[in-house]
Amino acid sequence: MLKVTKFGGSSMADAGQYRKIRDILQADPGRKVVVVSAAGKRNKNDNKLTDLLYLCHAHSQYGVDCTPVFDMITSRYIEIRDELNLDVNLEQEFALLKKRVDGKSVTQDELVSRGEYFSAKLMAAYLDFQFVDAADWIRFNLDGSVDKENSYELLQGLVKGKGVVIPGFYGIMPDGHIRTFSRGGSDITGALAAAALDADVYENWTDVSGILMADPRIVENPQAIAEVTYDELRELSYAGAQVLHEGTILPVREKGIPLNIRNTNDPEHPGTIIREKFDTEVDPHRVITGITGKKDYSIITVFKRGLTSEVGILRRILGVLEKHHISVDFVPNGIDNVSLVMPTAVVAPKLYTLLADMQQHIEPDNIEVMDQVAIVAAVGHRMAYRPGVSGQIFKALGEADINIRMINQGPDELNIIFGVDNRDFASAIRVLYNSFAK
Ligand code: ASP
């Protein structure tokens, strides 16, 4: 059994967290591959090392002395090393790096990648595992995508019998330069390592006990989702949930490796399991897997008598949006009207020219624009072909006096999405949570 484990920034924030990680690894001998983030925040007012590294680079680019920021960075790592009594000569590496920063000979990506690099050096020493640099196996193509075949082969050659620690977040370009993934990219490194080594499971350790059924800033103490399919996860993240990004999980999804989200601060909690399909389910009676949503949408409704019978009209309406490079999220329609639902931030800067073009090309009877709309999504594969779910949703919202501005159900019946006023957003989510989380 091989488990690839990835520990995020808050799990790497101080020496106490390193001890928790060692206990987690010792509890299961399958946990032999460890991918780490840079040190994260120790408390609400603290800084993430990665942010400090970006700041340090910006200082040096604008000719401002970055020594105070650089010292904040180095002292975080020295503190961890000394508290754990590790024999790692950080001072020498820090001095060399500082020289290169001052001489402007280090790129932003390389400097920022050092957050994970030093985390991995310390963790490898602490666990007495082998340090395997991401620069020795993650190969980017010129277009910025990962050359998976080559990278997988390289990692397979580097991992011997002993446990390994790998820094997340970066790899190298064909010319040998370090390149980072986008923010949060250590998750991708973990997924690539799991796929390369054909792991039995990819454990992603963070500071919550899995994916929550609803946003904890809206619902007090929401339950964690025990099991979620990759398709449901995509729906949840599209509709606003702060969960792992699709690109992150692609390498493990491609190989059919289950992903388990766990909490470093509550290691007994089983967290959330994500996989393609569940043959037997922990909770087969749960209809809705998660509830999420986003505020600040606009709905443009085009009214034109005979719209549904006019050949090509939808294409022409969508063509106007295409001309303005606007992608539309939902297109609910009536007999003589069609609505276009998009984030306000996308449509607002182009609204007046867009409306003028609609007038010219569509010749509508009327156009209405409605702002301050929130979309709410109830997601769950067990809703499919099950009568009564939408009835239950809309009954609950009606009883709470929440007016619905738009309804949309995906053809695969994996979600029911509806629009409400921004001001009803939080109560709509709470109402649904209370009627479905049992
Ligand atoms: N340290 C990087 C960031 O803060 C990458 C990561 O933690 O995943 O974005």
**Between 282 and 419, residue with greater pLDDT:** 419
Return the best residue to mutate from 10, 50, 206 for the ligand 1 pocket (most ligand atoms within 8 A of CB).
50
**What pLDDT score was predicted for residue 4?**
98
Reduced to 3 states, what is the DSSP secondary structure of residue 206?
A: strand
Q: Which residue's CA is minimally distant from atom 5 of ligand 1?
A: 184
Taking the C-alpha atoms of residue 374 and residue 429, their distance in angstroms, rounded to an integer, is: 11
In a domain, 259, yes or no: no
Beta pairing class for 406-409 and 272-275: unpaired
Q: Which residue's CA is minimally distant from atom 2 of ligand 1?
A: 184
> What is the mean pLDDT of the segment spanning 244-268?
93
Residues 294 and 194 in one domain: no
Pocket of ligand 1 contains residue 51 by CB under 6 Å: no
Predicted confidence (pLDDT) at residue 238 exceeds the cutoff of 90 = no
CATH number at residue 337: 3.30.2130.10
Residues 196 and 312 in one domain: no
Q: For residue 407, list its beta bridge partners.
A: 418
Return the best residue to mutate from 186, 188, 204, 205 for the ligand 1 pocket (most ligand atoms within 8 A of CB).
186
Pocket of ligand 1 contains residue 9 by CB under 6 Å: yes
**How would DSSP label each residue in 12-69?**
GSSHHHHHHHHHHHHT-TTEEEEEEPPP--SSTT---HHHHHHHHHHHHHTT---HHH
- For residue 49, the enclosing domain spans 3-207
Q: Which atom of ligand 1 is nearest to the CA of 37?
A: 7
**354-398 pLDDT, tens digit each:** 999 999 999 999 999 999 999 999 998 888 777 888 888 899 999
Predicted confidence (pLDDT) at residue 240 exceeds the cutoff of 80 = no
**Tally of domains within the chain:** 2
Residue in 3, 47, 52, 50 with CA at minimum distance from that of residue 24: 3
In a domain, 225, yes or no: no
Q: Which of 160, 186, 207 is the last residue of a domain?
A: 207
In a domain, 12, yes or no: yes
Pocket of ligand 1 contains residue 184 by CB under 6 Å: yes
Taking the C-alpha atoms of residue 146 and residue 142, their distance in angstroms, rounded to an integer, is: 9
Q: Which atom of ligand 1 is nearest to the CA of 115?
A: 1
Reduced to 3 states, what is the DSSP secondary structure of residue 214?
A: coil
**What pLDDT score was predicted for residue 27?**
98
> Please, are residues 80 and 15 in contact by the beta-carbon 8 Å criterion?
yes
Q: How far is the CA of 60 from the centre of ligand 1 (A)?
A: 21
Pocket of ligand 1 contains residue 115 by CB under 6 Å: yes
Pocket of ligand 1 contains residue 38 by CB under 6 Å: yes
In a domain, 274, yes or no: no
Helix (H) or strand (E) holding 262: strand 259-263
Residues 45 and 170 in one domain: yes
Beta pairing class for 272-275 and 259-263: antiparallel
Query: Which ranges of 88-245 does DSSP label H, i.e. alpha helix?
Result: 90-102, 108-127, 148-158, 186-196, 230-238
**Between 138 and 435, residue with greater pLDDT:** 138
Q: Which of 207, 224, 240 is the last residue of a domain?
A: 207
CATH number at residue 123: 3.40.1160.10
Q: Which of 207, 230, 253 is the last residue of a domain?
A: 207
Distances (CA, A) of 226 to 247, 269, 284, 430: 22, 10, 11, 20
